[in-house]
Structure 1
Amino acid sequence: MKKIGFVIGSMSHGGAERVISILSNLLSQKYCITIITFKESPSFYPLNKSVLLKSCKIKDMDRLKGPIGSIRLNYKIARNITSIVKEEKIDLLIGFITSSNVMSIIAARLNRIPCIICERNNPKKEYLSFFWRMSRMLFYPLANVLTVQTVAVKEYYLAKKLNSNILVLKNPISPELSQLVDHTPNRKNIILSVGRLDTNKNQKSIIEAFSNLKDPSWSLLLIGDGGMKKELEAMISRMGQTERIQIISGVKDIHNYYNKAKIFVFASNSEGFPNALLEAMHFGLACISTDCDYGPRELIENMRNGILISTNELDELTKSTIELSGNQQLIASLGNNAQRESEKYKAENVISEWEKTINKLLN
């Protein structure tokens, strides 16, 4: 079996880490998989027993600051990754996120093996230091393949000439999550939103829009945690909506909420790729989403399998929320079409595209 190495800072809670865990578990049926992290820590997401987790054991990442400190730190990381690649006899490296991508390219070049790099963020909203902007311009053209999540991001990076071989490889839906979809759910009048509680996810607008929905049978659940939690709770209290709006943090059984709600609202100002929106569609919820960069418009065809609204347009969000909540037939139609659209993102469909790309490089 050929050996593949994934490279990332850590396997903590996060979207990129979740995708790596899904890909690693699925690919481990055909390849020997090693996940290489900068820091030594356990994986937040479950990994198959055959998946090897190895660390560069960098303990002074937070202490090395400034240009000289950054150079020393990244030299140590690149050296340690290179050593692990040699030790494990890895045949191909896959990096996730900018710093890991650069380190993967360096280690792959030194070991004379192919390298795939993966960009996950919204390129228009990245806040990279000068060091990483220059490193990306210097090293990204040396990768065999640059993968992105949407066609729009591909076009953006092609214009920037970061790499000439850019592929769109979709995010897989967790197989474990797919198995928990209840196809005959007893749905309630619940509007659901899932995401980090911050200004970009724009839960304030969701709360304001919902507060204009006068039907007392509906409630709003905000699932997530973040720096704005107390501010949002105070806002809910101030508006007298504590009995209708609830914030729930630390949720591990997210499928219970997807199976129970009827409507999903996604109000982000920007995205790399909206995993929560895709999951909600997979569970058959009728979705209202901002048409932000990037992702929603590649998932939703307006009024067929969801509703797209402009970003930061409270009136549009309010109108769509009120009208959809009052139309059970439309809720069912959008939800059914959304579920069908999401099938292409099921893990077994996505993994075949990854295997094609990997095998082409290995052969």
Structure 2
Amino acid sequence: MKKICLIIHSLGIGGMERVMHQLAISFSEKEDVEIHLILIGKKREIVHSLPPSINIHLPQFEFDESSRVASTLKTMRFLRKEVKKIKPDTILSFGEYWNNLVLLSLYGLSHPLFISDRSEPGKDLGKIHNFLRRVLYPCATGYIAQTGEAKEICLSNGWNDNIRVIGNPVRQISTNGQEQREKIVLTVGRLIKTKHFDQLIRMFVKIGNPDWKLVIVGGDAKKQSLSKELDNLIHEMGAGKNVFLEGEQMDVDKYYKKSKIFAFTSSSEGFPNVIGEALSAGLPIVAYDCMAGPSDMIDNNKNGFLVPLFNEEDFKNRLEDLMHNQEKRERFRQNAQKSIQEYCPDKIANKFYSFITSHESNY
């Protein structure tokens, strides 16, 4: 029986969490594999169901924000104790801040430990975490990069030299092409500044097509409370009848299935799952060509448009073009679902599994 230990802060609704959730399920379906999932974050949420065969390990104490150092040390002791108890054949850890904590907590243990950053490659983590990353990342058995660009950044910084590029698993959103699509431009993501939803609202309003709606699905995050700002912007621009903030939604698929276009104005990504999901649902895409992710999935002028970062005029023109050109939308739709097949969950899970089980434990 092969034991795999998965470590993450929580299994909430974010992209990193969804990937770990999918991997946990896929690994658990393999014969003679035992999955242990350790949650080490502040909230330790699990919002999606997991098979009963997966062993879940949670700290039996609350993370006390008023005593962060003490709570962090308790978390580290808990993690080391659980791993020594599990005796895994291999470990996979997600999250650039959390990887440092995991590497520190498990320092000196002999289990193979694989790590993966899940945000913009080379993201500035601050002086302390940047230092820890330089010192600790080379101690990991291997590093999973989401894109080729992320791999080059990892190599150039000397973080690790055993690197495998593996994109995210993309959920297959079943559509038959016969859905009753509405004239909706959809965007999905947490309401944080780097998503630039304010820019998208302004560009959409400038197009001035009253037959179309802009629908934004996502809730406030990172204590930024942008929903109020965006709501005020919508009303200032007199767009209340055409622009809608839907908030956080558990069932995002219904939005993918009834929309005609997907817009993406983020400037900071690791590998944007929502682009993959939109393509899977057959949506043509207009996206900023930010540092990592969109160009891996979007073939410009075949399944969508890649726009230079922050070129609002070009973005607006591309979006307007798709809104008015049904023939182009249909052509992009057909190409979209074909282009995303390489990221089907089983293929991606097998790539992860092959890499993290390629080193035998010395335990």
Aligned positions of 1:334-345 closer than 5 A? 334-345=332-343
Residue 15 (structure 2) aligns with = 15
Q: Greater relative contact order (Cα 8 A, min sep 6): structure 1 or 2?
A: 2
One-letter amino acid matched to 1:33:
I
- State the Cα distance separating 1:41 from its structure 2 match: 3.8
Residue 210 (structure 1) aligns with = 204
The alpha-carbon distance between structure 1 residues 9 and 58, as it changes in their structure 2 partners (threshold 3 A), is: farther
Higher mean alpha-carbon deviation, 253-262 vs 207-216, is at 207-216
- State the Cα distance separating 1:64 from its structure 2 match: 3.1
CA deviation vs aligned residue, 1:266-321 (integer Å, no higher than 9, x gap): 01122121111111011000100001111111111210111011122221121111
Secondary structure at the residue paired with 1:318?
helix
One-letter amino acid matched to 2:19:
V
Aligned partners of 2:122 and 2:150 also within 8 Å: no
Structure 1's unaligned 5+ residue stretches are: none
Aligned partners of 1:287 and 1:335 also within 8 Å: no
Aligned partners of 2:173 and 2:281 also within 8 Å: no
Task: Give the Cα–Cα distance (whole angstroms) in 2 for the partners of residues 42 and 79 of structure 1.
Answer: 20
- State the Cα distance separating 1:154 from its structure 2 match: 0.7
Secondary structure at the residue paired with 2:83?
helix
The alpha-carbon distance between structure 1 residues 2 and 61, as it changes in their structure 2 partners (threshold 3 A), is: farther
The alpha-carbon distance between structure 1 residues 16 and 103, as it changes in their structure 2 partners (threshold 3 A), is: same
The alpha-carbon distance between structure 1 residues 117 and 60, as it changes in their structure 2 partners (threshold 3 A), is: same
Secondary structure at the residue paired with 2:215?
strand
Residue 289 (structure 1) aligns with = 287
The alpha-carbon distance between structure 1 residues 121 and 61, as it changes in their structure 2 partners (threshold 3 A), is: farther
Task: Give the Cα–Cα distance (whole angstroms) in 1 for the partners of residues 96 and 268 of structure 2.
Answer: 18
Residue 75 (structure 2) aligns with = 77
User: Which of 247, 250, 268 is residue 249 of structure 1 equivalent to?
Assistant: 247
Aligned positions of 1:154-165 closer than 5 A? 154-165=151-162
Residue 54 (structure 1) aligns with = 57
Aligned positions of 1:1-363 closer than 5 A? 1-30=1-30, 31-39=33-41, 41-65=44-68, 69=69, 73-106=71-104, 108-126=106-124, 128-174=125-171, 178=172, 180-226=174-220, 227-362=225-360
- State the Cα distance separating 1:7 from its structure 2 match: 1.2
Question: What CA RMSD, in Å, does the superposition of the two structures yield over aligned residues?
Answer: 1.9
Higher mean alpha-carbon deviation, 323-332 vs 215-224, is at 215-224
Task: Give the Cα–Cα distance (whole angstroms) in 1 for the partners of residues 324 and 293 of structure 2.
Answer: 27
Task: Give the Cα–Cα distance (whole angstroms) in 1 for the partners of residues 140 and 46 of structure 2.
Answer: 27
- State the Cα distance separating 1:362 from its structure 2 match: 3.4
TM-score (norm 1): 0.92
One-letter amino acid matched to 2:179:
P
Identity %: 29
Task: Give the Cα–Cα distance (whole angstroms) in 2 for the partners of residues 13 and 304 of structure 1.
Answer: 30
- State the Cα distance separating 1:58 from its structure 2 match: 4.8
One-letter amino acid matched to 2:29:
Q
One-letter amino acid matched to 1:202:
H
Secondary structure at the residue paired with 1:43?
coil
Task: Give the Cα–Cα distance (whole angstroms) in 2 for the partners of residues 242 and 179 of structure 1.
Answer: 30
Task: Give the Cα–Cα distance (whole angstroms) in 2 for the partners of residues 106 and 203 of structure 1.
Answer: 37
One-letter amino acid matched to 1:48:
P
Aligned partners of 1:122 and 1:294 also within 8 Å: yes
The alpha-carbon distance between structure 1 residues 183 and 47, as it changes in their structure 2 partners (threshold 3 A), is: farther
Task: Give the Cα–Cα distance (whole angstroms) in 2 for the partners of residues 134 and 235 of structure 1.
Answer: 40
